[in-house]
Amino acid sequence: MSANLAPPADQIRSLAQAAAEVVASYYDTLAHRPVLGPVTSEKIRAALREPLPRDPADFAALLTVFEDVILRYSRHSGHPRFFGFIASPGTPVAAIGQMLAAALNTNVTSWRSAPAATEMEHLTMDWLKEMLGYPADAAGLYVSGGSMANFAGLAAARSAKCPEAVRQGVAAAGRRLRVYVSEEAHQSMRKAAGMLGMGEENVRSVATDARLRMDVADLDRVVAADLAAGHLPACVSASLGTTASGAVDPIGDIAAVARRHGLWLHVDAAYGAFAALAPSCRPFFEHIAEADSVALDPHKWLYLPIGCGCILYKDPAAARAAFSHDAEYLRVIGRQRDEAFPFWDYGPELSRPFRALDVWLMLKFAGTRLLGEAIEKNMACAKYLERLVEASDDFEMLAPVELSVFCFRYAPPGFTGDLDALNQRIMVDLQKEGGSFLSNARIKGRFALRGCVLNYRTTERDMEILLDDVRRAAAG
């Protein structure tokens, strides 16, 4: 057997040490790199392209490619002034955790295949439920991310409201199943409705208030209109932290509407869930236990590397109704209760990586007190930027800061041109310049420079630098 497939222990040590050196120096230099250096796809392809490799290569040469091509031409989500999208910075302990998980290469399909990893998944689910204030007997599992968690939640809602849907399709309901989201909701709900055969057109947009939260009176109106038209109101999804502005929908009021009309209540907390660790955000979670399902993303505000979302279902039987199947090759034989536990009865995946290890490592290694402080600090940075903008005469806020997202624009006094075009140009130039990175949002029709503070490295000083960088980009 080639030593490159099964290297001896000493060689494994030297491979790991060489890679650990790259990891350590990456984290050490991260803040001094451009967020994204100048690059074209042609450049990257020219550096990587070669025919299918036939012979073994030297690991040191491969690490060089990782440093010289991959690191150099990547956008650095861990940079303290990367404010784009809702991007976790990752964390060294989880990077190392993923090496441990890959070494074990456990496949977390069920207790039978992965006894210890399954128990660790159950344990961390219990911790997440405790963190949120969600019922202890709820079921839950990790999935690849928030989109998949929303998909799984909507699948459970679909079979709760149309039990024949799994076997016969949603046409069996004889009516259109309707889903309600605010106009600020993440597009993954609409996409899930399409994939589940419910139809994207059956996802109804509900108006938002001045703070971009779902307008509950409008929800009531839209549901009533659907009932009058003979449709079947099935599910309402509330956002606990919208992607564009961080708005938190009034979950208690939405839950009351859901109860009145027999709707499944899903809460999309992909962004906001871990704000539960921040004492100032506890009121947002007051009614979370009323949700039938909750989507959350440890790979956002738990600062974990990409690939870890989570779905919780208040009624485990509702998840099984949506997902359980009985293929002979999967039948668990000769095991009782807990030891027969299959994750495939609760979500769309069969083979699953050991995602719980990252969550366990992070919660144990950092502890929730430190994590809560980091999350509070992220929100304080966003609030600080809001104060800087309000005190300036060349910037204006376009949405209030609710969590750690900030939406603003450059609007110098006396400027009479097109502010949307100006700010769009600023964003592109800022991204090219590489000192700070913002993405964009449309807030009530206006183009916004949008940032999200989701990095334990970011300080108030970074917010000042950001505004200087934006001014410099504006001056062009």
DSSP 8-state secondary structure symbol assigned to residue 283: G
CB of 200 to ligand PLP, least distance (A): 16
**Separation CA 352–CA 348 (nearest Å):** 10
CB of 209 to ligand PLP, least distance (A): 18
- Report how far Cα 102 is from the mean position of its chain's Cα atoms: 22
451 binds ligand PLP (CB under 6 A): no
CB of 237 to ligand PLP, least distance (A): 9
**In this structure, which amino acid lies at residue 403?**
L
Nearest alpha carbon to residue 197 among 155, 161, 239: 155
- Return the residues of window 244-283 that contact ligand PLP according to CB under 6 A: 268, 270-271
**Separation CA 293–CA 266 (nearest Å):** 5
Give the binding-site size for ligand PLP (rule: CB under 6 A): 15
Among 236-244, 254-262, 346-354, 367-375, which window interacts with ligand PLP (CB under 6 A)? 236-244
Among 102-110, 175-183, 235-243, 244-252, which window interacts with ligand PLP (CB under 6 A)? 235-243
Across the chain, how many H-helices and E-strands are there? 15, 11
Among 75-83, 146-154, 220-228, 331-339, which window interacts with ligand PLP (CB under 6 A)? 146-154
Determine what percent of the chain falls in helix, strand and coil, rounding each to the nearest 5.
50, 15, 35
CB of 318 to ligand PLP, least distance (A): 21
Which one of 243, 436, 440, 458 is in contact with ligand PLP (CB under 6 A)? 243
Torsion of CA 70, 72, 77, 80, to 10 degrees: 150
Residues near 55 by beta carbon (within 8 Å), at least 6 away in sequence? none
186 binds ligand PLP (CB under 6 A): yes
Give the H or E element holding residue 15: helix 9-29
293 binds ligand PLP (CB under 6 A): no
237 binds ligand PLP (CB under 6 A): no
DSSP 8-state secondary structure symbol assigned to residue 82: B
- Return the residues of window 297-316 that contact ligand PLP according to CB under 6 A: 297, 309
Which one of 36, 86, 318, 399 is in contact with ligand PLP (CB under 6 A)? 86
Q: Could you list the residues that contact ligand PLP (CB under 6 A)?
A: 86, 145-147, 150, 186, 188, 239, 242-243, 268, 270-271, 297, 309
